[in-house]
Amino acid sequence: MLKKLLGIAPKLESDGSYSPSKVALKMSVPAKTDFENISYKKYTGTRSKILVIFTEQKDLEMKNGKRFSTGNHPVEALLPMLHLRNAGFEFEIATPTGKPVVFEMWAFPSEDEHVKDIFNEHQDSFTKPRSLGDFVESSFAASENYAAVFIPGGHGAMIGLPEDANVGKILRWADENDLFTISICHGPGAFLATTLNEQPFLYEGYEMAVFPDSVDQQTPKIGYLPGLMPFGLSEPLKNLGATVVNSKMDKTVCLDRKLVTGASPLASNELGKLAAKTLLDE
């Protein structure tokens, strides 16, 4: 009752899951983003496609058994896509089995016309995406048409993607064919899929920016999460040999070889700029 009075109680949704508290939303979900509408010299080559791997999962069970209503963070997905679209790239939207993309709609910036625009532009693809299995079967032979693989964040990226063999295959395909891999916040959880079937971690020795476990451990105090995370992200990646360059939830972005990463939702605009510039320079 006290948490409700203070506005830090997670909101119970009609399906029994929990979304962030009023205080958490006020602190972390601005009505407009910091997107910079940059006019890039558009890419006109043959490698114009970017595969975007979204989660199709909504609920992440916390240690206390409560389910967090999650999915893909709209800002972490759409701001980088805005920059990459403005730089002349196009997107293929995919989920593990072809089920619709799930967004954390409680995190949608309600007054940001640029975000609304690209969200509406790709609504059909979000509703009817490709499956990763179909991509592996039919698109691996056409690597010359692709520039990058992009895995947005949101806690939903920690559900299913780390255990999906097709995710691991696609990341290795991207690496072997000199494509870029772009990810942000909890999106690098998908990198764990490269260790399936006792394979070596693809990004051992890489520097990357990811969401810190230490912050996930603190956010239940303001009702962002309804409990402690069942597992971590930054520490497992470190244990596999990655170097995490940030310790805070901030605007840090990182480029190491063909890997482009960002630390948190706050880094979405910076990640988009870095990804667009890096792909155009290449």
Inside any domain, residue 6: no
Report the 10 Å Cβ neighbour count for 89: 24
Inside any domain, residue 11: no
% the chain with pLDDT above 70: 98
- Catalytic residue list contains 185: yes
- pLDDT tens, residue by residue, 94-111: 999 999 999 999 999 999
Give the three-state DSSP class for 198.
helix
Inside any domain, residue 137: yes
- Please give the residue range of the domain that contains residue 114: 46-70+87-281
Inside any domain, residue 248: yes
Look at residue 228 and tell me whether its pLDDT is greater than 60.
Answer: yes
Residue 8: pLDDT band with limits 50, 70, 90: confident
Look at residue 2 and tell me whether its pLDDT is greater than 90.
Answer: no
- pLDDT tens, residue by residue, 21-60: 999 999 999 999 999 999 999 999 999 999 999 999 999 9
Token pair 């971690």 is at which residue? 201
- pTM of the entire structure? 0.96
Can you give the CATH number for the domain in which 148 is found?
3.40.50.880
Task: From the candidates 8, 9, 87, 185, give the one annotated as an active-site residue.
Answer: 185
Inside any domain, residue 81: no
Judging by DSSP bridges, how do beta strands 49-53 and 146-151 pair with one another?
A: parallel
Output the six-digit token pair for 7: 């506005």
Residue 262's alpha-carbon distances to 7, 19, 45, 100, in angstroms, are 30, 24, 26, 25
- pLDDT tens, residue by residue, 175-214: 999 999 999 999 999 999 999 999 999 999 999 999 999 9
Task: Give the pLDDT score at 6.
Answer: 60
Report the 10 Å Cβ neighbour count for 31: 9
Inside any domain, residue 255: yes
The total number of structural domains in the chain stands at 1
Inside any domain, residue 17: no
Inside any domain, residue 31: no
Token pair 């990341």 is at which residue? 171
